[in-house]
Structure 1
Amino acid sequence: EFCYSDTPHISAMQLEGIEDNVILIDSVSKRYSECGIRIGALITKNKQVRKDVMKFCQARLCPPLIGQIVA
């Protein structure tokens, strides 16, 4: 994270007792104002959330049929 003072940054990922309830979502385009760069991350310690998110990621690995035909 960007810190503009001497106060140290504390991430919610560091807090004890809420590990399974924290999901961090970040992207290059939002953090650095780089429009169109589609690189991002979803970070969580919750194994069930990771498992469910991976299902969506794997389902979107190929473009839809109409997109393939047009290309």
Structure 2
Amino acid sequence: MPNYRFHPVDFDEHNLSITRKEYKEALSYKPDEIADNELPTLYQFDLHYRQKARAFGFLYKGIFYLVWFDKDHLIYPGD
């Protein structure tokens, strides 16, 4: 069984290229009205089929909502 490396994103990690503010801006046209503690947890998982890529999004009521598709690993550079 493949390992999808599904885990929450740590915004304090040194090699992460996005910020909480950018995440808020991707979710809402009024990002200043969203408190940090109201943000849904951002998750990432690897996708490996024909190319390596990562998907970023959040879970709500059992549904994964895609926020970013990072085919070039720009958001979360390779390990």
Q: Which has the higher strand share?
A: 2
Higher relative contact order (CA 8 A, sep 6+): 2
State the TM-score, normalized to the length of structure 1.
0.22
Q: Which has the higher helix share?
A: 1
State the TM-score, normalized to the length of structure 2.
0.21
Q: Which has the larger radius of gyration?
A: 1
